Amino acid sequence: MSKIDTQGLSGEAVEGCTDNVYPLDENGQPIYPPFNPTPLPLLEPKLRQELKDLINEVLDEREKSNHSTYRLDELQE
């Protein structure tokens, strides 16, 4: 058998099958096609802004009570 059988899910190896056959580089390692996933936003822009405003409001309250002062905008990348 020339395929890996994972928990009995693989079928028999097919003669001349070219699935998952990639060209090799000079070191013999496969050259895979680029992985370009579609970005999936986790938060809608309105919800993101609402959360930022809420967090900044909480941080402002913290500032009034003489604790360390941070702004969400300063902590971001």
User: Would you say residue 59 lies in a domain?
Assistant: yes
3-state secondary structure of 51: helix
- Do 60 and 70 touch, CB atoms closer than 8 A? no
Amino acid at site 19 = D
Residue-by-residue pLDDT tens, the chain, 77 positions: 566 656 666 666 677 777 677 888 999 898 999 999 998 888 898 999 999 999 999 888 877 776 555 666 666 64
User: Would you say residue 71 lies in a domain?
Assistant: yes
User: Would you say residue 24 lies in a domain?
Assistant: no
Give Rg (Cα) of the chain: 26
pLDDT reported for residue 40 = 85
pLDDT reported for residue 7 = 66
Backbone φ, ψ for residue 24 (5° rounding): -105, 145
pLDDT reported for residue 38 = 92
pLDDT reported for residue 72 = 65
- Do 15 and 3 touch, CB atoms closer than 8 A? no
User: Would you say residue 13 lies in a domain?
Assistant: no
The total number of structural domains in the chain stands at 1
User: Would you say residue 55 lies in a domain?
Assistant: yes
pLDDT reported for residue 10 = 60
User: Would you say residue 54 lies in a domain?
Assistant: yes
- The range of the structural domain enclosing residue 51 comes to 45-75
